[in-house]
Amino acid sequence: MADKSGGKGIAAAAALADFAGLLGKAVVSGIAAGVLLALVTLGLATTANAQSKPNDAKTGTLLFRAGEGAFAPAPKVETEVTIHVTGIVARTRVSQTFHNPGAEFVEGVYVFPLPENAAVDRLWLRIGERVIEGQVKEKEAARRAYAAAKREGKKAALVEQQRPNLFTNAVANIGPGEFVRVQIEYQQTLTLDNGEYRLRFPLAITPRYEPAAGSEGDASLHPAQEPGAVPGFRKTGGVPDLPAEAVLHPDYAPAGCGAVNPVAIGVVIDFGVPLAKAASSYHDAWIEQESATRTVLYLQREQEEADRDFELVWSPGGGAAPQAAVFTETIGGTDYTLLMVMPPQPTAAEKAAIAPLPRETVFVIDTSGSMQGTSIRQAKESLLRGLATLTARDRFNVVEFNSATRPLWPDALPATEPNLRFARDWVSRLRADGGTEMAGALSFALDGRDTPGYLRQVIFMTDGAVGNEDQLFRLIASRLGATRLFTVGIGSAPNSHFMAKAAQFGRGTFTYIGDLREVEEKMSALFAKIESPVLKDVAIRWPDGTPVETFPARVPDLYLGEPIVVAAAHSPHPGTIVVSGLRGTEPWSVALTPSPSGEPTGVGALWARAKIAVLMDELRLGADETLIRPAVVKVALEHHLVSRYTSLVAVDVTPTAPGGETKSSLVKASAPLAAAAGELPQTDTAFTLQLLLGLLALAAAGVVALVGRFIPAGGAQAPAREAEGVR
């Protein structure tokens, strides 16, 4: 018995050893087969990837490498910026010096941002001592001229507008070791807010974090609004010869290797009056008061890294009464006038003295389903804040809309305490549900009515989740009347574009509230601003009474801290221009006499730029492009401006390069300060990986099954056979 059980134990142990050995071999062979298959598949996938590149190039896709480029050494660009400020106009000259460090002729393409309202009107190509001035041509014609020059081996420069604030400069046939300098000039009007002038020169290439000072809200929430060049934006538009394999993707320079494309900036401010304050917001700069009226500023480090926008803020010593300034320029028998009316900064005593107009305020609140959650709470909170600012002289109404429009009352009622209490109760009961039918609410609020003696305002609180933007813009434009529309963006991701444009068409402002904690501060600022319309019913009387084309066509009201800037074109007629309006309830007017200085002030270009912007807005409103395009081209050609349809091109007379195909490469751009400031959504799944892993496992299972089949029935030779099976 004992003997038998001992034999059994040995037999069991041997069987177990056998079993374990086989299991091990099976697993090892399975894994081996899997790894082999994986390697083969990976190899195939890599080959497929490599092959896909030329295919992509065929369809116009750029090929890029983030590290060391496979292209010729990228040309470098040094930028010098000189800004001359006269009053509220700034003329800027941007000099870009292209240097080709390589041994072959190359084409350099430089993508660079400019301020949104920049009127680019001059281009010079400097080769050694020679200067070739650029000509404005229609975009296609300019491209053809550039392409022809490039083929013939001539040096040429082409400046194109990609977006209103993004331009490209392409320079053809830069010789080995050669320097080519391209100069661009543009004109812009400055922004004036609360007594401070602000001048911005965009330098950075991606949206980045901004210090809270001077900017409102969290910059990272709406990064796309910040000017900055796009890495990798390319626009060939089917033109065969332009950057054919140009890489408009600036590969980032490694961090810490200093400025790749350095920029030096100098600013001269000729203001007429001494400045109370002047400061560079983000860069260290030297500021010198050269004379009583002239201030000079330049960046402390000559070669500043282009990772943050340059911003200069200054303020003159201002008085309390509205100030006005006028600039004129005569081009080809037409006078161009730029008119500025600065609102006063009323003192507390004055504020009390000026009886503000009573208001009729209509609050419109979006209660659609998309507002559910914190959005509706923010909107309600904002509305209640707004109600609290009303006084007994004011009138008000509240309108909610989702799928349908429901006003609190058919018409506005005086803001008495019982009425306000009733409204507050009504508002607190509102619930977010249903669709977003904005048109009905807008039609109700903008009924074209004007209540005499009242300043009519519509405060529109929404997340702007609508699909029929253009239709709504048309509705606003046609029904606005004397009313002003102020939009308040609610929620984490409101449709800012819609609301900013809606406010523009409604001649009001756009306020963005991204957080419940901001409601108090933002709404107070908004109501403080619109509580005190400094000037209403602004009208301009021109000397001879003839129709004058002004931009903006309708002069908006002057709110606290905001200036009015109007550009006009009219027949030459010396005389005084009278700007009038209502200050509080009292009529106010100022007579301005333009004093032609004789020297070109660039006002014509500003007028033309404003006109192009208006035409482009019309296009957004649904105007026919076949009508808009010729109009834009006409204005742009007349005033020598770069626009969406026109470009500046300069071509050298003598060929200097062998011609034919030249390598083109994109100029490297500086790494952004915060690289991850904004990202496009991630749009891949683990599908490929899972599919591959799944198939591999399946294949491995098959291999194991196959191997298992060849396992012999047993016997001494079994291990040898197994080895064969694995092989």
Binding to another protein, residues 418-457 (CB under 8 A): 434-436
Indicate whether 700 belongs to the interface with another protein (CB under 8 A).
Answer: yes
Indicate whether 207 belongs to the interface with another protein (CB under 8 A).
Answer: yes
Integer angstrom CA distances of residue 202 from 217, 506, 679: 19, 29, 20
Go through 208-221 and write b for each residue having 16 or more CB atoms within 10 A of its CB, e for each that does not. bebeeeeeebebee
Give the span between the Cα atoms of 633 and 261, in whole angstroms.
Answer: 33
Q: Quick one: tokens of 458?
A: 């519509």
Which residue from 264, 331, 711, 726 is in contact with another protein, where contact means CB under 8 A?
A: 711
Note if the bond before 101 is cis, omega within 30 degrees. Answer: no
Q: Scan residues 371-390 and list those touching another protein (CB under 8 A).
A: none
Give the span between the Cα atoms of 134 and 474, in whole angstroms.
Answer: 39
The site that binds another protein (CB under 8 A) totals a number of residues, namely 111
DSSP 59: T
Which residue from 2, 10, 255, 352 is in contact with another protein, where contact means CB under 8 A?
A: 10
**For another protein, the closer CB: 128 or 681:** 681
**For another protein, the closer CB: 279 or 676:** 676
Which residue from 86, 117, 443, 495 is in contact with another protein, where contact means CB under 8 A?
A: 495
Beta strand extents in 434-547 (DSSP E only): 455-462, 484-490, 510-513, 533-541
Q: From the CB of 72, what's the least distance to another protein, in Å? A: 20
> Which window, 91-99, 305-313, 410-418, 710-718, contacts another protein (CB under 8 A)?
710-718
Site string for another protein, 534-553 (x = CB under 8 A): --------------------
**For another protein, the closer CB: 291 or 682:** 682
Contacts of 307 (CB under 8 A, 6+ apart): 203, 204, 208, 670, 671, 672, 673
Other Cβ atoms within 10 Å of 367 Cβ, number:
25
Q: From the CB of 272, what's the least distance to another protein, in Å? A: 36
Q: Is 139 helix (H, G, I), strand (E, B) or coil?
A: helix
Residue 519: φ, ψ to 5°: -55, -55
Indicate whether 404 belongs to the interface with another protein (CB under 8 A).
Answer: no
Element (H, E) at 280: strand 275-280
Site string for another protein, 505-524 (x = CB under 8 A): --------------------
Which residue from 14, 39, 404, 720 is in contact with another protein, where contact means CB under 8 A?
A: 14
265 forms beta bridges with: 81
**For another protein, the closer CB: 319 or 373:** 373
Q: Scan residues 208-227 and list those touching another protein (CB under 8 A).
A: 222-224
Indicate whether 686 belongs to the interface with another protein (CB under 8 A).
Answer: yes
Q: From the CB of 549, what's the least distance to another protein, in Å? A: 21
Which residue from 266, 346, 369, 407 is in contact with another protein, where contact means CB under 8 A?
A: 369
Q: From the CB of 248, what's the least distance to another protein, in Å? A: 8
Indicate whether 206 belongs to the interface with another protein (CB under 8 A).
Answer: yes
Site string for another protein, 50-69 (x = CB under 8 A): --x---x--xxxxxx-x---
Q: Which residue has the tokens 């190039």?
A: 57
Q: Scan residues 162-181 and list those touching another protein (CB under 8 A).
A: 163-164, 166
Site string for another protein, 266-305 (x = CB under 8 A): ----------------------------------------
Q: From the CB of 88, what's the least distance to another protein, in Å? A: 26
Give the span between the Cα atoms of 457 and 473, in whole angstroms.
Answer: 17
Q: Pick from 63, 68, 100, 105: which is nearest to 655 by CA?
A: 105
Which residue from 129, 258, 715, 727 is in contact with another protein, where contact means CB under 8 A?
A: 715
**For another protein, the closer CB: 521 or 724:** 724
Indicate whether 616 belongs to the interface with another protein (CB under 8 A).
Answer: yes
Indicate whether 40 belongs to the interface with another protein (CB under 8 A).
Answer: no
First and final C-alpha spacing in the chain = 45
Q: Which residue has the tokens 């050269």?
A: 290
**For another protein, the closer CB: 14 or 528:** 14
Indicate whether 315 belongs to the interface with another protein (CB under 8 A).
Answer: no
The amino acid that residue 146 corresponds to is Y
Indicate whether 619 belongs to the interface with another protein (CB under 8 A).
Answer: yes
Integer angstrom CA distances of residue 87 from 190, 249, 273: 9, 38, 10
Q: Quick one: tokens of 455?
A: 């300043």
Q: From the CB of 507, what's the least distance to another protein, in Å? A: 20
Contacts of 438 (CB under 8 A, 6+ apart): 366, 401, 462, 466, 468, 472
140 alpha carbon, distance to own chain's centre: 25
Q: From the CB of 635, what's the least distance to another protein, in Å? A: 14
Beta strand extents in 445-509 (DSSP E only): 455-462, 484-490
Q: Scan residues 624-643 and list those touching another protein (CB under 8 A).
A: 624-626
**For another protein, the closer CB: 19 or 286:** 19
| DSSP secondary structure string for all residues of 327-355 | EEEEETTEEEEEEEEEPP---HHHHHHS-
Q: Is 631 helix (H, G, I), strand (E, B) or coil?
A: helix
Q: Scan residues 561-580 and list those touching another protein (CB under 8 A).
A: none
Indicate whether 407 belongs to the interface with another protein (CB under 8 A).
Answer: no
**For another protein, the closer CB: 113 or 581:** 113
> Which window, 76-84, 142-150, 278-286, 689-697, contacts another protein (CB under 8 A)?
689-697
The burial class, CB within 10 Å (0-12 / 13-18 / 19+), for 443 is middle
Q: Scan residues 68-127 and list those touching another protein (CB under 8 A).
A: none
Give the span between the Cα atoms of 419 and 492, in whole angstroms.
Answer: 32
Q: Scan residues 228-267 and list those touching another protein (CB under 8 A).
A: 228-238, 248-249
- Within 13 A of 698's CA, how many CA atoms are on the CB side? 6
Contact 488, 526 (CB under 8 A): yes
